[in-house]
Structure 1
Amino acid sequence: MKKFEDLHIQEPLKQWLRDKHFKEMTAIQEEVIPLSLQGKDIIGLSETGSGKTHAFLVPIFEKIDVASDYVQAVITAPTRELAYQIYAMAKEVEAYFPSIRISAVVGGKERARDSKKFQLQQPHVVIGTPGRLRDLFLEDNSLRLDKAKVMVVDEADMTLEFGFLADVDAIVSRMNDVQMLSFSATLPNQLKPFIRKYMHHPITIEIGKHQSNNKNIEHVLVPCYHRSYAETILKIMPGFNPYVCLIFANSRKEAHEIAQELRDHGVKLTELHGDLSSRERKQAMKQITQSQYEYVIATDLAARGMDIGEVGFVISCGFPNDLEYYIHRAGRTGRAGLSGTCYALYHEQDDEAIRSLMKQGIPFKHRRFHHHNWQDLRPYGQRRAKKDTEMQKQIAKMMTKKKRKVKPGYKKKREAEIDKLYRRKKRDFIRSKIKEEKKARYKQRAKELRDGNEKA
C-alpha cells in the first residue's frame, strides 16, 4: 500500500493526515487521489467505510486557492447526516489552513440565515443536500456555484434512488468546465445517462468484492411464524450479546412502530429515520457515535453511508424492494476483518426475495431461537420428503411400466386404471369408516344395555 507521505501535496495537508494517524492509503484512496489531482473525471464504486471521503477531500484541499473569494468545490450528499458527516471531516482542515472557508448547507429553517451569510461572503468549499444547494443557487442567487471547478456527488446511487438527481442535474447544468467525481456502492443503469451527459471520459474505479461475498458475514434466516418483527426480535435477543445491533426497517412508519413496541418491553434504543426532526437526528447520531445505545433502529436512507463504527449484529426486518439494499444492510457488519451476523427475519411473502438472494450467492443458514438455544432448521426451501403410500407405489408402477408394443389408446386405459385405483381406495376408505361407526354404535348399545340392567 502507498503512503500519504509519498503524495505530492502541501505540507499542511500531510500534517493533517499525520495528526489523524493516517499513514497508508486505503485501496480507493490509492487509486482516486492521484487521478483526481490530475483533474480526471472519476466514477468510484466502493462500500461505506472504504475511505472514499478522504479520497476526494485531499485533492479538493490541495487545489483550493484561499485568495480567491468564490466557491471552488461543491460536494452533495443525499441526507443531512451524510452532509454533516463530510462537513465534520472537512472542518478539521481549518486548523491547518486558517484562511479556508467551508460551509454546510442542508434542509431545515436555516435557509434565510444561509442566504444572508452567502450574500456577504462566499465559501471556498460547500457541502450540502441537493435540494438546499439548488434553492440557494438557482432561486435565491445567494450561493454562486457556477464557477466551481470540482463537483462531487457522494452516494450517487442513493441520490438517484430517492429522487434528488434532478436537483444535481439543475446545478451541474449551470457549471462550466467542472471536474466531476461520482461515488457510490453501485452503478444503476438509470444513472448512466447523467454520467454520459456531464462526465468526460470518466475513469471507473471499483474497489473490493461485492459484500455478498464477504466471508466474515454470517447470514441467518429466522422465521417470524405468526409473530410481528418486534415480537421476533424480543424472542431472539437472548441469543446474542451485541455491542451495537443495527435493526433495519423498510419504512419510517415501520421503524417507529418496531421501536415503540421494543421500548414498551424495556429495550433501550435510538431511532434514525426521516420522520425525526433535524435536531432529533443530530441527537441520535451523537448518541450512536458515543455508543449510548446497543440497539439502533434505522431505515436504509437514514443509515446508508453513516459512520456508526463497529456493528456486531444486523437485523433485517423483511427485505427491501431493491434487494441491493439488503446487501448494504448486511455489509454494515463484518468489517475490518471482524466477524458479524445478519439476521433476516421473514414471513411467507418474502419467499421470492429470499430465493433471489440465494441465486446471487447469499449462503443463508436457517435457524430459530427456541428453549434458550439456537436450533438449525431444514435448509430454506427444502421440503420434508413424504413417505410413499401403497397406492402411490402402485400408480408409480403403472406410470413406469414398460410395454413392448404400444397399443392405440393406452394413455386413456392407464388413466382409467389409475381412476379405478382411486375409486377403490375411496370405496375402501368409506367401508372402513362404516365399520368403525357400526363398531362404535354396537359398543354404545352394549353400554346402554349394561347400564339398564344395573338400574333394574
Structure 2
Amino acid sequence: MANHPFEKFNLEPSLIDAVKDLNFNQPTEIQTRVIPKIIKQVNLIGQSQTGTGKSHAFLLPLLNSIDIDYKEPQAIVVAPTRELAQQLFDVASHLTRFKEEVSVKLFIGGTDIEKDRSRAKNQPQLIIGTPTRINDLAKHGDLHVHLASYLVIDEADLMIDLGLIDEVDYVATRLDESAHIAVFSATIPKSLHPFLNKYLENPEFVEIENTEKNKKNIEFYLIPTKGEAKIEKTLKLIDILNPYLCIIFCNSRESADALANQLNAAGLKLGMIHGGLTPRERKQQMKRIRNLEFQFVIASDLASRGIDIDGVSHVINFDVPNDIDFFTHRVGRTGRGQYKGVAITLYSPDEEHNIALIEQRGYHFENVDIKDDELKPIKAHNMRQSRKNKDDHLTNQLKYKVKSNKKKVKPGYKKKFKRDLDDLKRKERKQFSKQKSRQDRKNRKG
C-alpha cells in the first residue's frame, strides 16, 4: 500500500490515522515547512494568513512529541480569544481521539476559575487557552506551566491589538531557559519585535508568501456608493445574494450597531459579533451562527479576528478598513480550502484613497454596480482619476503654448484660455491616437 504523504514527517501511526480521518491528502505549504521544525524543537516565527492549515502545522508535531508517561505539562498553546482557543482545543481533541493517552485541557476566561483549579489538579500534558487565565492558574500554582518545554503563540499580531502581549510575556517568563517558542502571526508589526528579541534566540523564520493576493477561488467586487446610499445598496445586495453564510464587516462597534438597526428595521434577522457583547452573549451568538440560524452576520474587525467560522460563502465590506491589513483578514474568511467565495466592497468617494492602498497591495477588483437585480460591470473607479492625471500632465505641457500666443490681457481671457487649452488637448489626443495606430500597425507587421 502506498505511503500517506504525511508519513514523510515520521509522525506516529496514530496521528497518521487522525490525518486520514480528516481526509488530508497533501500537506499544505505551512505544514510541510513547520511540522519538521517543531518536531526538532526549534525557536520559530511563522508568518501566514488564516486558512492555510496552520493549526495542524503545530498541533500535530506537539502531540507527536508528548511523552504519555510523563503526567505534567509539556506544551502550551496560547490564543488571543476564547473562541480561537476553543477552536484549537477542538482540533487537538480530534487528534487525541487517535492518540488517546494524551491529556489536553482548555483554560479560558469567562468560565468559573474555581472549576479550572479543580480540573488542573490532574495536570494536562498539553495546555490550550487564553494567556490571562493560564497566568491566573500559574500564579496560584494550579498549573505547572514552568515544566513545559514548548510554547506556541497563535495570532500574535492580534495579541498586540488586544493588549495581551504582556500576559503572554508572563507565561514565557515562567518557562525554563531550555524551552522553545513558536510564534505565528499574519503580520509581524514592529510592536511585536521586543517580545521576539527577548525570547526567541536564533529563530527559524517561515513565511508563506502570498504574492498573488487574489485567491483564485474568491471573486472580488467593488461597488460605488454615496452617503446614505450604502444602506440601500446593502439591502439591494442582500436581496440578490443567496449566501450560505455572509459576514458584513464594519470598522467599529458603532457602525455595526447602526447598520444592524437599519437592517433589523427592514425585517432582517442578523447575527452580531462585536466587542460590546458580554462573554455569554458572544458564546450564544457563536452557537447560533454555527447552527446556521443566520444567513447574515455583522461583525467588527477586532471582535471577529480570532473567530473561525466554517462555510462563509460571502464577505461584504460595508466600511472600507482604515488598517489595510484588516482587508486581508476579512476576505480571508471566505473561499477557504476547496470552497469558492465572494468578497464585495462598498465604497463612498471619501474611501477611494483606501481602495487605492488596497490595490497597491496587489488586490484586483471587478468594478460592478447593481442594475436590474444583478451585478453588472461598470467603468473602473480609478479611470476618471487616471484620466485627470493625464489631463493635468497635458495641461502643464500645453500651457506655455497658449501663453506664448498672449500679447495683451483682455477681458474674458480666462474663458478664452480654457477654450484654447481644450482645443489643444483635443489636437494632442488626436495626434497621439494617430501615432498609436501607426505603432500598432508596425507591431502587427513585425
Bucket of the pairwise TM-score, normalised by the shorter protein: 0.7 to 0.9
Match of 2:85 among 83, 86, 103: 83
Further displaced range: 237-246 or 329-338: 329-338
Q: Distance in 2 between matches of 1:189 and 1:210?
A: 22
The higher radius of gyration belongs to: 1
Instruction: Tell me whether 1:172 sits opposite 2:192 in the alignment.
Output: no
Correspondences of 1:172-211 after superposition (within 5 Å): 172-176=172-176, 177-210=178-211
* TM-aligned CA deviation for residue 40 of structure 1: 1.4
Residue 367 of structure 2 aligns with an amino acid whose one-letter code is H
Provide the C-alpha distance between the structure 1 equivalents of 2:194 and 2:410, rounded to a whole number of angstroms: 61
Q: CA deviation at 1:349?
A: 2.6
Distance 1:304 1:272, change over 3 A: same
C-alpha deviation, 1:420, in angstroms: 5.1
Q: Which amino acid aligns with 1:158?
A: L
The SS at the match of 2:146 is coil
Distance 1:373 1:90, change over 3 A: closer
Cα distance change of structure 1 residues 320 and 179 upon mapping to structure 2, 3 Å threshold: same
Give the CA deviation at 1:345. Answer: 1.6
On the 8 A contact 1:211/1:327 being kept in 2, the answer is no
**CA offsets 1:248-302 (integer angstroms, 9 cap, x no match):** 1112332233223222222233222232333332333333333332212222233
* 8 Å CA contact retained: 2:83, 2:306: no
- String of CA shifts for 1:200-235, please: whole Å, max 9, x gaps: 221111224156232433332223313264433102
Q: Which amino acid aligns with 1:92?
A: H
Q: Structure 1 residue 19 and structure 2 residue 21: aligned? A: yes
Instruction: Check 1:108–1:338 CA distance in 2 against 1; reply closer, same or farther (3 A cut).
Output: closer
The equivalent position to 1:66 in structure 2, one of 61, 65, 68, is 68
Q: Could you tell me which residue of structure 2 aligns to residue 390 of structure 1?
A: none
> Who is 1:336 aligned against?
337
Q: Deviations over 1:58-101 (max 9, x none)?
A: 11111222332322111111111000000111122443344422
Does the 8 Å CA contact 1:239/1:369 hold for their aligned counterparts?
A: no
Shift of 1:241: 2.2
- The within-5 A match list for 1:322-361 is 322-361=323-362
- 2:44 maps to 42
The TM-score normalised by the length of structure 1 is: 0.80
Secondary structure of 2:409's match? helix
For the structure 1 residues 172 and 371, does the alpha-carbon distance in structure 2 shift closer, same or farther, using more than 3 Å as the test? Answer: same
Q: TM-score, structure 2 length as denominator? A: 0.82
- Residue 130 of structure 1 is matched in structure 2 by 131
Q: Does 1:417 align with 2:417?
A: no
1:312 corresponds in structure 2 to 313
Letter in 2 for 1:178: A
Is 1:144 aligned with 2:149? no
Are the equivalent residues in 2 in contact too, given 1:217–1:342 (CA < 8 A)? yes
The residue identity in structure 1 corresponding to 2:353 is E
CA RMSD for the aligned pairs? Answer: 2.9
1:371-421 alpha-carbon deviations (Å, 9 max, x no partner): 4233444321333989xxxxxxxx998740586xxxxxx9xx76x626652
SS across alignment from 1:146: helix
Name 2:224's counterpart in structure 1: 223
Aligned twin of 2:278: 277
Instruction: Return closer, same or farther for 1:261/1:211 CA change in 2, 3 Å cut-off.
Output: farther
Instruction: String of CA shifts for 1:115-174, please: whole Å, max 9, x gaps.
Output: 2432x2322111111222222223x33222111101000111111122111111121122
Given that residues 51 and 337 in structure 2 are in contact (C-alpha distance below 8 angstroms), is that contact kept between their aligned partners in structure 1?
no
Structure 2 SS opposite 1:5: helix
Amino acid paired to 1:16: A
2:220·2:343 contact (CA, 8 Å) conserved in 1?
yes
Matched to 2:260, the amino acid is A
- Residue aligning to 2:12: 10
- Could you tell which deviates more after superposition, 76-85 or 186-195? 186-195
Query: What amino acid is aligned across from residue 47 of structure 1 in structure 2?
Result: Q
Report the count of equivalent residues. Answer: 406
Bigger Cα displacement from structure 2, 72-81 vs 324-333: 324-333
Q: Relative to 1, partners in 2 of residues 1:399 and 1:418: Cα closer, same or farther, differing over 3 Å?
A: farther
Separation (CA, whole Å) in 2 of partners of 1:8 and 1:358: 42
Q: Deviations over 1:310-359 (max 9, x none)?
A: 33221012122311111221222233354432211222331321121122
Instruction: State the distance in 1 between where 2:150 and 2:398 align.
Output: 76
- CA–CA distance in 1 between the matches of 2:410 and 2:76? 76
Identity, % of aligned pairs? 35
CA contact (8 A) 1:49 1:307 kept: no
Which residue of structure 2 lines up, in the alignment, with residue 379 of structure 1?
Answer: 380
Structure 2 Cα separation of the partners of residues 243 and 182 of structure 1? 33
Q: Is the 8 A contact 2:107 2:129 kept in 1?
A: yes
Alpha-carbon distance in 2 for matches of 1:2, 1:201: 33
Q: How far, CA to CA, are the matches of 1:244 and 1:74 in structure 2?
A: 33
Q: Distance in 2 between matches of 1:314 and 1:122?
A: 42
CA contact (8 A) 2:81 2:306 kept: no
Kept in 2, the 8 Å contact 1:77–1:155? The answer is yes
Q: Deviations over 1:20-46 (max 9, x none)?
A: 333422221111111111111121222
In the alignment, structure 1 residue 249 sits paired with structure 2 residue 269: no
**Structure 1 residues 418 and 340: CA distance shift in structure 2, 3 A:** farther
Separation in 2, partners of 1:165, 1:397: 58
Unaligned runs of 5+ in 1: 387-394, 404-409, 426-456
